[in-house]
Amino acid sequence: MTSQPDFLRHARTTLATMAALGAALLAGCGDHAAPIDTAADQQPATKLSPADQIARGRYLARAADCAACHTSAQGAPFAGGVELASPFGTFYGTNITPDKDHGIGKWSADDFYKALHDGVAPDKHLYPAMPYTSYRGLSRGDTDAMYAYLMQLKPVAVANRPHDLSFPYNMRVTLPGWNLLFLKDQLPDASTGQTPPWQRGRYLSNA
Ligand code: HEC
């Protein structure tokens, strides 16, 4: 028996390459020039009226650039289909409109928070192509606001395109291992010292 079995070394390389994936995809997609409305960003989402919470959710979804990967050039807003090339194959952004069959229409606010915070959907582990390692810093109030915004959009009945990945990246079973190594616990940045504007800037750029 050798001390460094081949499969272990291979697994390690695989996981290291997957770590680069989220960053590579983020760099590759999106036009970040769209102006954002800061007016809705003044108070905690929990204290907002439903209309203000939706406005805040719209602002946050723009700041986090969800559309870059979830709205395709020809498609309806957030109906998915965006092609995301990576060294591991092609990912397709998914339908996150409130359609019950193809989108997230059956999801609760809890499900939505878990997807953004832990990369876990009700039925599967998500690929880090969905940058949940970054969104982990989002507060519950902010994910609730984005959920409220997305859920009042028009449901779009467009089926998700299966990702076209090469082996072994096409196996979702490897994802809990990836998370074990790279998903660090991170409290919302707003909960630590420093001045509020500085904290806000750090939160918006990190998460
Ligand atoms: C860099 C590209 C990218 C960005 C930016 C991005 N996503 Fe995703 N997202 C993906 C991909 C790719 C998937 C599919 C992952 C999979 O199949 O495992 C996904 C999956 C999801 C899912 C699960 C959907 C399902 O059908 O299972 C939700 C919910 C979601 N994203 C919400 C968001 C929200 C909200 C934002 C903005 C805060 C966002 N995403 C930003 C790429 C992205």
Alpha-helical regions (H) of the chain: 6-28, 50-63, 67-70, 109-118, 132-135, 140-151, 175-182, 196-206
Among 15-19, 52-56, 84-88, name the one with the lowest average pLDDT: 15-19
pTM equals: 0.76
pLDDT at 59: 96
Pocket of ligand 1 (CB under 6 A): 25-26, 29, 61, 64-66, 68-70, 84, 91, 93-94, 96, 104, 112, 115, 121, 126-127, 129-131, 135, 146
Q: Please give the number of the atom of ligand 1 that sits closest to the Cα of 29.
A: 1
Site to probe by mutation for ligand 1, drawn from 29, 96, 130 as the one with most ligand atoms within 8 Å of Cβ, is 130
Q: What residue has token string 């719209």?
A: 58
Q: Answer whether 114's CB lies under 8 Å from 14's CB.
A: no
pLDDT at 32: 41
- pLDDT at residue 203 tops 70: yes
Residue type, 134: S
Q: Whose CA is nearest to atom 26 of ligand 1?
A: 94
pLDDT tens column, 32-55: 444 444 444 444 445 789 999 999
- pLDDT at residue 107 tops 90: yes
pLDDT at 193: 52
Q: Is 57 exposed, middle or buried (0-12, 13-18, 19+ CB in 10 A)?
A: buried
